[in-house]
C-alpha cells in the first residue's frame, strides 16, 4: 500500500513511541515527513526513515510554543512544497498527582503542551492544508479524556479538551475540506509508560498489564500508528470531528467484577 504518495506530513512528538511509529508508517507509504520533537529522538526517527529509503526532515520544537509550531509547518511547506496532513501527537503525562496535589504550575504546563499544542497545530496547519485542496489533521487524545480512571486530573482534563477541540475545529473548518479527528489510545507501551512495562517484565508479570480490557494486554505504538494513518487517509474521507478509541475495549464498560470467558459469573 502507498496511501500517502508525495504527501507532506508533520508529526509532532515523533521522537519516540506513537509519534515515531506514525512517522515511520507514513514514510513507508510514500509520504515526506517532518519529524518534530524536542529531543534528539527527532534525528533518530529521521535516520530510521532514511535508512528504510524514506524521506524525512527532523526539527527540534516545543509543541506548545506557537513560534515552534509555525517553524515546523513552514519547514514542510518549504522543503516538501506544502502540507497535506498534520499530526499533533506531542504530550506529557504530568505525573500521578491527585486533584489536591496538583499545583497551578503543573496543570498549566500539562495544558500548554497537551491542549494548547494541538490548538496551535490546528490554527496554523489548517490554512496550509486548505491551500492544497484539503487533507487531514489528527490529534492524539486519550481514553483518559473520556472519563475518570485512566490518568491524573491534569492529564485527563487536557485530553478531554483535545477531544472537544477536534469537534469544534471540524465545525469551524466547514467548507475547507480539512478534516479534524482525534485518536484516543488506551495503555500503550511508549516512553511515558515504559517504567510500567519494564517493571512488569522484570517481575514476570507482563500478562497483568492491560488485564482490565477484553484483549488482556497493552498496545504497541504501531497499533496506534495504524489508527492515525487511517484517520489521515482517504479511507476516512467522511470521518470528521470524531474521537476514535483504540484501547482494547477498556472503555466499553464501567468497572465491574468481570466474568471470565466460558465461566459463569458469581
Contact indicator for 131, 125 with CB cutoff of 8 Å: no
Phi, psi of 49 (to 5 degrees): -65, -45
Angle of the 41-51 helix axis to the 17-28 helix axis, nearest 10: 30
Coil, helix or strand for 236?
Answer: helix
Cα–Cα distance measured from residue 41 to residue 148, given in angstroms and rounded to the nearest whole number: 31
Element (H, E) at 111: helix 104-111
| Residue of 155, 199, 238, 261 marked catalytic | 155
Angle at CA of residue 177, ends 172 and 181, nearest 5°: 65
Coil, helix or strand for 83?
Answer: coil
Which residues does residue 11 pair with via DSSP β-bridges, in sequence order? 35, 87
Q: Known catalytic residue: 155? A: yes
Contact indicator for 176, 132 with CB cutoff of 8 Å: no
Phi, psi of 110 (to 5 degrees): -65, -45
The residue behind cell 524514506 is: 54
Cα–Cα distance measured from residue 120 to residue 123, given in angstroms and rounded to the nearest whole number: 5
Q: How many helices (H) and strands (E) does the chain have?
A: 8, 7
Catalytic residues: 155
Amino acid at each position: 500500500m502507498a496511501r500517502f504518495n508525495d504527501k507532506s506530513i508533520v508529526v509532532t512528538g515523533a521522537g519516540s513511541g506513537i509519534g515515531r511509529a506514525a512517522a515511520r508508517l507514513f514514510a513507508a507509504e510514500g509520504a515526506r515527513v517532518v519529524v518534530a520533537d524536542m529531543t534528539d529522538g527527532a534525528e533518530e526517527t529521521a535516520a530510521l526513515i532514511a535508512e528504510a529509503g524514506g524521506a524525512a526532515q527532523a526539527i527540534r520544537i516545543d509543541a506548545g510554543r506557537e513560534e515552534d509550531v509555525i517553524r515546523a509547518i513552514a519547514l514542510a511547506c518549504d522543503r516538501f512544497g506544502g502540507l497535506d496532513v498534520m499530526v499533533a501527537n506531542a504530550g506529557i503525562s504530568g505525573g500521578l498527582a491527585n486533584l489536591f496535589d496538583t499545583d497551578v504550575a503543573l496543570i498549566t504546563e500539562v495544558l500548554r503542551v497537551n491542549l494548547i499544542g494541538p490548538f496551535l497545530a490546528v490554527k496554523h496547519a489548517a490554512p496550509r492544508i486548505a491551500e492544497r485542496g484539503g487533507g487531514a489533521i489528527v490529534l492524539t487524545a486519550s481514553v483518559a479524556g473520556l472519563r475518570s480512571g485512566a490518568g491524573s486530573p491534569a492529564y485527563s482534563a487536557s485530553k478531554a479538551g483535545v477531544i472537544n477541540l477536534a469537534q469544534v475545529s471540524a465545525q469551524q473548518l466547514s467548507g475547507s475540506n480539512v478534516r479534524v479527528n482525534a485518536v484516543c489510545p488506551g495503555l500503550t507501551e511508549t516512553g511515558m509508560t515504559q517504567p510500567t512495562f519494564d517493571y512488569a517484565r522484570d517481575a514476570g508479570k507482563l500478562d497483568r498489564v492491560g488485564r482490565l480490557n477484553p484483549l488482556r494486554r497493552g498496545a504497541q505504538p504501531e497499533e496506534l500508528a495504524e489508527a492515525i494513518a487511517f484517520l489521515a487517509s482517504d479511507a476516512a474521507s467522511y470521518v470528521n470531528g470524531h474521537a476514535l478509541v483504540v484501547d482494547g475495549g477498556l472503555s466499553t464498560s464501567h468497572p465491574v467484577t468481570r466474568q471470565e470467558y466460558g465461566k459463569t459469573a458469581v
